């Protein structure tokens, strides 16, 4: 990076918002995925829209790639600066600008932390449902760019269902405003829709307008133990088919239960082959009815139901689920978390396939996830330095994806493509779609400077 450029950036943003030391830059050479590390040439933290535009213009003039980064919690290598360049971190653009109780929306800067927004709107009796497991640190910009889901996706949908408007800059520094504060809006292309799952490749968002909903009056949670994971999966399919929509319907297999219990000591049933964590919410009368119906379906499928009697027990259950990934991560040096997703009726087939693949390649896979959305997280525990095992792991991943597509599913329900799934893109979407995406990107970023080489583009 030219000294004169660094000086210009330091003058505009302040020295503490520009990182050039190798040790500092190293912290931005990777994200939460398991791939290779690549050092960026510089890391900057703009604090407002004007500074952001200044950085973009400077990089654009000098043809330096920009890799936008929120909290770096993505699981697909989406923020690794593969060809160097400038990592632009949004975490200093972190103000909640408006919470509108009359029109039920919030306006936030892109670097606002998801949990910070969720907690704030609760103070107004409102609800922002998308709750990725990483919500304590993930940013709204990252959630939009990955279309993050969460534990409540089954009933409340995912991030894309809440994005009403976005403000962003393209790589030429032009300001782009899409969507707005009205429930209906069809003036022009659906630009907020275009930014969903865009993985930092089409523009850099600095502001997002998000839909809010009334907070549900009450909720009831249960933990259901199974001596066969397939019974648990059949329960999920039957609940969905019975037209009940729990707010949450999560699955943990025996391996994951033990990993969480060993670390958290909260009394999970370590002998169970699987458990389901289920919550229904809404008006008290509806909650009571749905709860009874769900319980019956669980028992019919040989589930042993335990009801969370108070808020403390309920919180324990959800903490256990949210900690699944970090508890598994403690067990081996390399953790590979996949999120192949299938139509919900295919959950039992997918679960069987994952078990068979683990045994065929003699590797350890713990599975948990948003079973109600058909979104399982087969989590492979390995050590990348063990070349023989890692080769088997790579073959297992290929097969997991092939199976998911065979069952009518997708490579990624919520973690995005980034670098790690780029090579599989064509297998799912075909050449025509890839070319369409390429043309779209070249139309707004002709020099391919915005997060280049992601998604195979
Ligand atoms: C423990 C753990 C649990 C997780 N649980 C879930 C889960 O339940 N559901 C789920 O969906 N995901 C989950 N994830 C994945 C991850 O947290 C999400 O993808 C999240 O949305 C990423 O947010 P971030 O701020 O960390 O974004 P980053 O990782 O920093 O960036 C993600 C992508 O967004 C782009 N981007 C970021 N900000 C902007 C912006 N302002 N404008 C344009 N592009 C931008 C980046 O370039 C990158 O391509 C989990 C991750 C971890 C580590």
Q: What is the pLDDT of residues 198-256, one digit of tens each?
A: 999 999 999 999 999 999 999 999 999 999 999 999 999 999 999 999 999 999 999 99
Residue 275: pLDDT band (50, 70, 90) is: very high
Measuring from atom 44 of ligand 1, which residue has the nearest CA?
200
Q: How sure is the predictor about 340, in pLDDT bands with cuts at 50, 70 and 90?
A: confident
Question: Going by CA atoms, what residue is nearest to atom 34 of ligand 1?
Answer: 142
Give the distance (Å) from ligand 1 centre to CA of residue 359.
Answer: 31
Q: Which residues contact 197 (CB under 8 A, 6 or more apart)?
A: 145, 146, 147, 160, 416
Q: What separation in Å is there between the alpha carbon of 143 and the centre of ligand 1?
A: 5
Structural domain 3-89, CATH architecture: 2-Layer Sandwich (3.30)
pLDDT at 292 over 90: yes
| CB contact burial 7-17 (16+ within 10 A = b; e otherwise) | eebeebbeeeb
Per-residue pLDDT at 192 exceeds 90: yes
Please tell me which residue, 311 or 417, carries the higher pLDDT value: 417
- Average pLDDT in the chain: 96
**Which of 28, 56, 72, 73 best tests ligand 1's pocket when mutated (most atoms within 8 Å of CB)?**
73
Average pLDDT over every residue of 51-57: 98
Give the pLDDT mean for 351-380. 95
Token pair of 21, please?
Answer: 């030391």
- Examine the pLDDT at 61 and tell me if it is beyond 90: yes
pLDDT value, residue 318:
87
**Between 303 and 311, whose confidence is greater?**
303
Q: What is the arithmetic mean of pLDDT over 282-309?
A: 95
User: CA 358 to CA 362: how far, in whole Å?
Assistant: 6
Whether 317 shows a pLDDT value over 90: the answer reads: no
Q: What is the pLDDT of residue 110?
A: 98
Eight-class DSSP state of 456: G
How confident is the model at residue 235, as a pLDDT? 96
Q: What is the pLDDT of residue 299?
A: 97
Instruction: Report DSSP letters for 258-294, one per residue.
Output: HHHHHHH-S---TT-SEEEEEEEEESHHHHHHHHHHH
Kindly write down the DSSP assignment for every residue of 86-140, as one continuous string. EEEE-TT---EEEEETTTTEEEEETT-BHHHHHHHHHTTTEE-----TTTTT-BH
Contact status, residue 151 vs residue 248, Cβ threshold 8 Å:
yes
Atom from ligand 1 closest to the CA of residue 31: 29
| Of 74, 108, 152, 372, best ligand 1 pocket probe by most atoms within 8 Å of the beta carbon | 74
Q: Give the number of the atom of ligand 1 that is nearest the alpha carbon of residue 205.
A: 42
Ordered by start, the domain boundaries in the chain are 3-89, 96-214, 218-407, 426-456
The closest residue, in CA terms, to atom 19 on ligand 1 is 74
pLDDT for the residue numbered 393 = 97
Mean pLDDT calculated for residue range 21-27: 98
HEC assignment per residue over 408-446:
CCECECCCCCCCCCHHHHHHHHHHHHHHHHHHHHHHHCC
How many CB atoms sit inside 10 A of residue 321's CB? 22
In the prediction, which pLDDT does 75 show?
A: 95
Q: Helix (H, G, I), strand (E, B), or coil: what is residue 303?
A: coil
- Centre of ligand 1 to C-alpha 138, Å, is 6
Q: What are phi and psi of 213, to 5 degrees?
A: -130, 160
- pLDDT value at position 199? 98
- Give the three-state DSSP class for 304: strand
Distances (CA, A) of 9 to 21, 90, 182, 204: 15, 16, 38, 18
- d(CA 13, ligand 1 centre) in Å: 25
Asked whether residue 1 carries a pLDDT value surpassing 90, the answer given is no
**Integer CA distances (angstroms), 101 to 104, 211, 341, in order:** 5, 11, 35
Task: Starting at the earlier edge strand, list the strands of the sheet with 364-370.
Answer: 304-307, 218-226, 274-282, 248-253, 364-370, 375-382, 334-337
Fold of 218-407: Vanillyl-alcohol Oxidase; Chain A, domain 3 (3.40.462)
pLDDT cut 70: percent of the chain above it: 100
What pLDDT, in 10s, does the model give residues 72-128? 999 999 999 999 999 999 999 999 999 999 999 999 999 999 999 999 999 999 999
Distance in angstroms (rounded) separating the CA atoms of residues 69 and 199: 10
Convert the pLDDT of each residue in 411-445 to its tens digit.
999 999 999 999 999 999 999 999 999 999 999 99
Q: Span 96-214: which CATH code?
A: 3.30.465.10
Q: Is residue 322 scored above 90 in pLDDT?
A: no
pLDDT band at 316 (very low <50, low <70, confident <90, very high): confident
Q: Which atom of ligand 1 is nearest to the CA of 148?
A: 11
Q: What pLDDT is recorded for position 44? A: 98
Instruction: With a cut of 90, say whether residue 313 has pLDDT above it.
Output: no
> For the residues 271-291, what does the mean pLDDT come to?
96
Q: Does the fold of domain 218-407 match that of domain 96-214?
A: no
Residues with CB under 6 A from ligand 1: 31-32, 68-75, 78-79, 90, 110, 132-134, 138-139, 141-143, 145-146, 148-150, 199-200, 204-205, 325-326, 414-415, 451
Which of 40, 112, 132 most suits a substitution to test ligand 1, by most atoms within 8 Å of the C-beta?
132
When pLDDT is averaged across residues 273-292 and rounded to a whole number, the result is 95
How do residues 379-404 score in pLDDT, each as one tens digit?
A: 999 999 999 999 999 999 999 999 99
Nearest-atom index, ligand 1, CA of 138 = 25
For 22, 85, 233, 378, the CA distances from 151, given in Å and listed in that order, are 38, 35, 17, 16
């Amino acid at each position: 990076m030219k000294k004169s450029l660094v000086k210009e950036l330091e003058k505009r943003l302040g020295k503490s918002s520009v990182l050039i030391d190798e040790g500092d830059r190293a912290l931005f050479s990777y994200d939460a995925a398991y791939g290779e590390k690549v050092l960026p040439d510089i890391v900057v933290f703009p604090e407002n829209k004007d500074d952001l535009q200044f950085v973009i213009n400077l990089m654009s003039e000098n043809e330096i790639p920009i890799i936008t980064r929120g909290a770096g919690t993505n699981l697909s290598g989406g923020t690794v600066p593969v060809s160097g360049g400038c990592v632009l971190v949004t975490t200093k653009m972190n103000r909640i600008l408006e919470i509108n109780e009359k029109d039920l929306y919030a306006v936030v800067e892109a670097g606002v932390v998801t949990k910070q927004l969720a907690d704030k709107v609760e103070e107004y009796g409102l609800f922002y449902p998308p709750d990725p497991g990483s919500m304590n640190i993930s940013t709204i910009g990252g959630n939009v760019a990955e279309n993050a889901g969460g534990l409540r996706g089954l009933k409340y949908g995912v991030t894309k269902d809440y994005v009403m408007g976005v403000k962003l800059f393209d790589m030429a520094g032009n300001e782009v405003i899409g969507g707005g504060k009205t429930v209906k809006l069809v003036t022009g292309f659906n630009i907020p829709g275009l930014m969903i799952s865009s993985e930092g490749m089409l523009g850099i968002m600095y502001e997002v307008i998000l839909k809010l909903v009334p907070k549900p009056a009450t909720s009831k949670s249960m933990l259901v133990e199974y001596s066969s994971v397939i019974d648990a999966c059949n329960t999920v399919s039957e609940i969905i088919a019975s037209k009940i929509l729990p707010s949450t319907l999560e699955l943990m297999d025996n391996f994951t239960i033990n990993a969480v219990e060993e670390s958290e000591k909260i009394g999970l049933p370590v002998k169970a082959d699987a458990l389901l964590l289920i919550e229904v919410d809404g008006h008290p009368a509806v909650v009571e009815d749905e709860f009874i119906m769900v319980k019956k379906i669980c028992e019919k499928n040989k589930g042993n139901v335990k009801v969370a009697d108070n808020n403390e027990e309920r919180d324990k259950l959800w903490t256990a689920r949210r900690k699944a990934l970090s508890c598994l991560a403690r067990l081996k040096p390399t953790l590979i978390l996949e999120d192949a997703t299938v139509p919900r009726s295919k959950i039992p087939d997918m679960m069987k396939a994952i078990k068979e693949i683990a045994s065929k390649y003699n590797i350890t896979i713990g599975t948990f996830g948003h079973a109600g959305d058909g979104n399982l997280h087969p989590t492979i525990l390995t050590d990348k330095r063990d070349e023989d095992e890692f080769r088997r792991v790579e073959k297992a991943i290929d097969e997991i994806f092939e199976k998911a597509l065979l069952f009518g599913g997708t490579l990624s329900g919520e973690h995005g493509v980034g670098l790690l799934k780029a090579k599989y893109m064509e297998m799912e979407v075909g050449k025509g779609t890839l070319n369409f995406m390429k043309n779209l990107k070249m139309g707004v970023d002709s020099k391919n400077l915005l997060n280049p080489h992601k998604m195979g583009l």
